Structure 1
Amino acid sequence: MSTPPPSPLPGFTEGAQVIHVPGDRPPVDEFSHVVYSQVRNGPAVRALHLILLVPRTGAPKPAVVYFPGGGFTSAAHGKFFEMRAALAAAGFVVAAAEYRTVPDTFPAPVEDGKAAVRYLRAHAADYGIDPARIGVLGDSAGGYLAQMVGLTGDEPAFDRGDHLGESSGVQAVATLYGISDLLNIGEGFGADVQRVHASPAVTEALLLHGPAFGDSAGGPVDRDPAQARQASPVGHLGGPKPPFLILHGSADQLVSPVQSRQLYEGLRGAGQSAEYLLVEGAGHGDGPWYQPELIGRVVAWFGRQLGRG
């Protein structure tokens, strides 16, 4: 319990309403435009950025990397501020990461996600991070990326770029209405939606094969089922994995709840720790996902898995 500050000199309080505000909640500093990776694209070099929220406390803190959704075509990492701010207020360092999207192809986004984790470990002392307590969080396509980063922690094939002496493994994964299997994103929807996901122009097909251009013919996702499986979280369920929190809306019309159910069943069938929450009436990234009750559940789960700062 904090002690009220000393009273001001006599006369200073005349006409004022004197209030007492505890000072037990630490301030949070924001670091924008932090370059965590530089990737070559032909003769050009692209810088990839983080937005960091860092509680101003002395003890080493757990960290959560947030990957934004965007249908594999955008990675606007300034979104979902409500969730990021709540995590920071609870004592987590929060790093929102942009990553490469279409027209870049797999495994580019996974390489970027793992590079972001390695950057935090390499700079743990700079931001007061405990490198042994790092989690990932994402929504939609960002949920897919959080799943892939969490499930491939022991697979060096996806580690590219800087800080390769650091581990890209994480200790907790939360995925919101994410994608677990690129081969059946339309599962559970009607025939019209199924035809969309069978198209070579759908974004998951572009992620795998790129557009038809030059020597590349492009193609639908199932042009190469083995490649699609390798690019899907459900293709990486073997071996020890971090605990998972899986959330999906029952009324999602863009990414079927089947995606989250099959991830949950796959993890549990492999003997892994997983919790699955179906949010009644919630759609894809709509109002319920920004409410304090839901955000509080995610924050509390990370607190149980990673501890607090």
Structure 2
Amino acid sequence: MRPRKIITMLATVALTGGSLTACSSSDDTSNSSTASCPQPTVGGAGANPPAGAAANLPLAKTITPSDTSTSTVIDGSGPAIQCGKTALKTTNDIVYDSPVSGGKQVPLKLDLQVPQTGGARPLVIYLTGGGFSSANKSGNLDQRTYVAEQGFAVASIEYRTVRNGATYQEIVGDVKSAIRFLRAHAAEYGIDPAKVAVWGQSAGGYLAAMTGVTNGLAQFEGTGNPGQSSEVQAVVDEFGPADIAKVAADFDTAAQKSNYTPGNSLAQVIFGPGTKLSVTAEPAVTAKANPATYADASDPSFVFLHGSADQLVSPSQTLALHNSLRADGVDSTRYVVQDANHGDLAFLTGDANAASQWSSQQVMGTIVSFLTKHLT
């Protein structure tokens, strides 16, 4: 019997103005027991965003095509991913840290899926999107389950957001804290602590990239779960921003204006709560939030995937970071998914197939192949 499927909006609208958003499927069961992975649907419970949210999303009407000479173009067509062939042990709501933000303690939890057989498994930390305004760890259960069934321990984590008063440095610190926690408890959960990757989408893609390029940098470590390494061996970045001051560079004027609204969530994640600045206001400060600033030849291997029709994050964002990493001697590969949008925008378009490319065997197989190459 197929489990009940729920569409969840993983990002809310920016606190002031527009924000990056992503939507994906989640599921109300904890075990993979069906032949098909849960797929995004339109009209189900939770399919619609909060009142007024859709009207405020900074969707681009025009997108300038970016150079693909250093990328591989794929179409994302073909059959959807299949689940239910590997038994998984799922443990939900594990508290990995309780940092203090805005004078309040914020318990941060993760959900963990581990194949039941085969010994210690390489770890993949999944980072959901949410425009830095939300971090729903229950998202994308279909894709997470698929990756776990290929032989990986997959942990989907909560992290602080601008609603907690957190900046990008503190949020990256949360990711690293989760990595240290899981390394410390590797034997308990059946994890190989020597093999860790981060995989993120949208804002989560940005955090994955930042985590990868800041291996060993003290200012991003935070204080949670000391005594373990937070270094990662591979990074998967799906349609994440990089140079946030240019996040709408490929878009029409109206979309640029919305993304660059002073004080929005993008500005707050860089400058802090209550800022009245735009992300374009102080280039030197914004540059410190750009993963390219920290890249060097010692960084782990990267793979990027971006839709050519992304209306929320300019495709040139992953291109610029990819090219920068390559110039610094980092092993980086980039795929452009032809005509794909920004994850699942079915709640706006009414198209039940809006996210099908991202859950195809072609796209997910590309991710699994990369993880297998670098973690096994």
Q: Same fold (TM over 0.5)?
A: yes
Q: Name the aligned partner's letter for residue 303 of structure 1.
A: T
Tell me the percent identity: 38
In the aligned structure 1, how far is the partner of 2:159 from the partner of 2:265?
A: 16
Does structure 1 conserve the Cα–Cα contact (< 8 Å) formed by 2:299 and 2:330? yes
Runs of 4+ aligned residues of structure 1 deviating over 4 Å after TM superposition are: none
Does structure 2 conserve the Cα–Cα contact (< 8 Å) formed by 1:58 and 1:128? no
TM-score (structure 2 length as normaliser): 0.72
Per-residue deviation, 1:304? 1.0
Q: Name the aligned partner's letter for residue 192 of structure 1.
A: A
In the aligned structure 2, how far is the partner of 1:117 from the partner of 1:290?
A: 26
Q: Unaligned stretches of 5+ in structure 1?
A: 1-24
- In the alignment, does 2:183 pair up with 1:114? no
Task: Report the count of equivalent residues.
Answer: 280
Per-residue deviation, 1:43? 4.5
Provide the residue aligned with 1:146 in structure 2. Answer: 208
- In the alignment, does 2:303 pair up with 1:242? no
TM-score (structure 1 length as normaliser): 0.87
Does structure 1 conserve the Cα–Cα contact (< 8 Å) formed by 2:127 and 2:207? yes
- In the alignment, does 2:135 pair up with 1:75? yes
User: Which of residues 241, 260, 269 in structure 1 aligns to 2:318?
Assistant: 260
* Larger RCO (CA under 8 A, 6+ residues apart): 2
Q: Secondary structure of the residue that 1:113 maps to in structure 2? A: helix
In the aligned structure 2, how far is the partner of 1:247 from the partner of 1:80?
A: 16
In the aligned structure 1, how far is the partner of 2:103 from the partner of 2:362?
A: 48
Q: Name the aligned partner's letter for residue 156 of structure 1.
A: A
Provide the residue aligned with 1:101 in structure 2. Answer: 161
Provide the residue aligned with 2:254 in structure 1. Answer: 192
Larger radius of gyration: 1
In the aligned structure 2, how far is the partner of 1:299 from the partner of 1:178?
A: 18
Provide the residue aligned with 1:177 in structure 2. Answer: 239
Q: Name the aligned partner's letter for residue 367 of structure 2.
A: V
- In the alignment, does 2:139 pair up with 1:53? no
Map Cα deviations across residues 137-173 of structure 1 (whole Å, 9 max, x no partner): 0000000010011110121111112222211110000
Does structure 2 conserve the Cα–Cα contact (< 8 Å) formed by 1:209 and 1:218? no
Cα gap change, 1:82 to 1:243, in 2 (>3 Å):
same
User: Which of residues 144, 147, 158 in structure 2 aligns to 1:84?
Assistant: 144
Q: Unaligned stretches of 5+ in structure 2?
A: 1-84, 345-354
Provide the residue aligned with 1:163 in structure 2. Answer: 225
In the aligned structure 2, how far is the partner of 1:76 from the partner of 1:220?
A: 26
In the aligned structure 2, how far is the partner of 1:211 from the partner of 1:234?
A: 24
The Cα RMSD (Å) is: 1.6
- In the alignment, does 2:365 pair up with 1:304? no
Does structure 2 conserve the Cα–Cα contact (< 8 Å) formed by 1:234 and 1:266? yes
In the aligned structure 2, how far is the partner of 1:278 from the partner of 1:235?
A: 24
Provide the residue aligned with 2:63 in structure 1. Answer: none
